Amino acid sequence: MVKEELIKVVGKGNVLEDEATLKTYAADFSLQPARKPMLVVRPKDRDEVEKVVKFANEQKIPLIPASSKVHFHGETIPEQGGIVVDLTRLDKILEIDTRNRKVKIEPGVTWRKLEEALKEHQQMPLKPLFPHPLKSALTSSLEREPMLIPKYEYAGSVLTMEVVLPTGDIFKTGTASAAKTEEAYPEGPGIDFFRFFEGAEGTMGIITWLNIKTEYLPKHQKPFFIPFSAIEEVAEPLYRLERRHIGNECLVLNRTALATLLAEDFKKEYEKVKHTLPPYTVVLVIAGAPRRPLERIAYEEEALQEIASELLFEPRKTVGGVAGLGETMIQLLRSSQSENNYWKTRYKGSTQDIFFLTTLDRVSSFQKQVFITATEHGYPTDDILIYIQPLERGRACHLEFSFPCDLSSLQEKEKVAKLHRELSQDLINSGAFFSRPYGPWADMVYRKTVVYTNTLKEIKKVFDPRNILNPGKLCF
């Protein structure tokens, strides 16, 4: 009966139940246990999503929204069975507003598709660190993945959206909430509710379009690489650079992460490249667009050199003797990688990430804690990828440790899973702020925040009284 009713909505070819398809949706790149859905349904537009949701709400059937087939944290694994709502057919770029620097996208729009479309308009998306080209740009934005340009993090990249609520009702935020307009700006009648849907892992509603910020594609840009021998040396230069608003992209990679990116023939070149690189490298891109770009680059470079002379570090055109590093880095920042050679899966096929928010002055103490625990578990610290992303012009930072893992090895999976869980709990106890509580982190985070958790549960009851959207995730 369920299958037949869904076929009436989306068509026979878009209701899938074969074993191979269900197995594909049962797992991802994470260590979360695989769980198969009962069906996969592929709507083509908002109206079909609305009908699917209303039917599932009437029948009390769990729905799991999925905007792409690339997932790393278990957020689309059906914890309690149900139907996966595959949104990849909703893949239109509805509007590119160059004057107001925003773009309106559907959930199936990938980072690759968005980058290519915006280039024609001399714009670029505010994207996270080298995202998978087939990942949904809408999902990344909603999940608050940190952007590479720190000055825009304070307000985030999300502007307005259209949501199909778990009851099947349509909800819009910003000026789009007015009955007679599709214009989508943040300001609108009453309180703007868009933050209820950020970081919610599809538990509060299914987003059918989203407006996100864009930035001018630089006409001129100048990359710099600043080597450091120890992680504790990085904080003060970053504080000084960010307070002076120097550069667009600004990030830190350890030699393992940078070598993983740069080795063209991974098996042959990775170890060689890795051991020529400094332990830590600040990547800074000074860019100018669209007005007087060369003047902007000149005064920011002057400020960079002034700070460098005061703190005794050297901004360089390359590190480790890597030829053409500046051009390579710009290419990596501006264009998607091949889906068959995604940087985080190059070493062992997957990485298990631990990331959280902290302040730059605490990075070194967290790094020591991670290395001590990894050593105790027999995990080689030299294999750990480290990424530091300043946020809000240095007020805070995103700190990420990635542990390459071979998911085909049961022994390695168990070792990394134990390390991941124990280390995550220890970091939370030490003050790390896990703002995106995926999988086992949810219980660790929410059991420490009783009032906040109870408030979230009350909001969930308002939006989703029958608890059909992605049950089992977060604290629901």
The CA distance from 7 to 15, in Å, is: 6
Q: For residue 10, how many C-alpha atoms fall within 13 Å in the half-sphere facing its CB?
A: 27
CB contact set of 188 (below 8 Å; sequence gap of 6+): 160, 173, 174, 175, 176, 177, 178
**Structural domains of the chain, ranges and CATH numbers in brackets:** 2-86 (3.30.43.10), 93-216 (3.30.465.10), 221-429 (3.40.462.10)
Global pTM value = 0.94
Give pLDDT < 50 ranges for the chain: 190
Instruction: Tell me which H or E stretch contains 411.
Output: helix 410-429
DSSP class of residue 312? T
The string of pLDDT tens digits covering residues 38-96 is 999 999 999 999 999 999 999 999 999 999 989 999 999 999 999 999 999 999 999 99
Helix (H, G, I), strand (E, B) or coil at 419: helix
pLDDT at residue 174, rounded to an integer? 81
pLDDT at residue 339, rounded to an integer? 82
pLDDT at residue 152, rounded to an integer? 60
The CA distance from 472 to 133, in Å, is: 28
Q: Which pairs with CB-CB distance under 8 Å and at least 24 residues apart come from 115-120?
A: 115/334, 115/335, 115/336, 117/93, 118/214, 118/217, 119/217
**Greatest extent of the chain over all pairs of C-alpha atoms, in Å:** 73
pLDDT at residue 186, rounded to an integer? 57
**DSSP, residue by residue, 174-237:** GGGGSTT-----S--SS---GGGTTT-TTSS-EEEEEEEEEEEPPSEEEEEEEEESSGGGSHHH
The CA distance from 476 to 474, in Å, is: 6
CB contact set of 54 (below 8 Å; sequence gap of 6+): 167, 168
Measured CA angle at 114 (ends 112, 117), to 5 deg: 110
**62 to each of 50, 76, 453, how far by Cα in Å?**
15, 12, 21
For 242-345, where are the E strands, in sequence order? 250-254, 280-288
β-strand partners of 252: 282, 388
The string of pLDDT tens digits covering residues 133-169 is 999 999 999 999 999 987 765 567 898 999 999 999 9
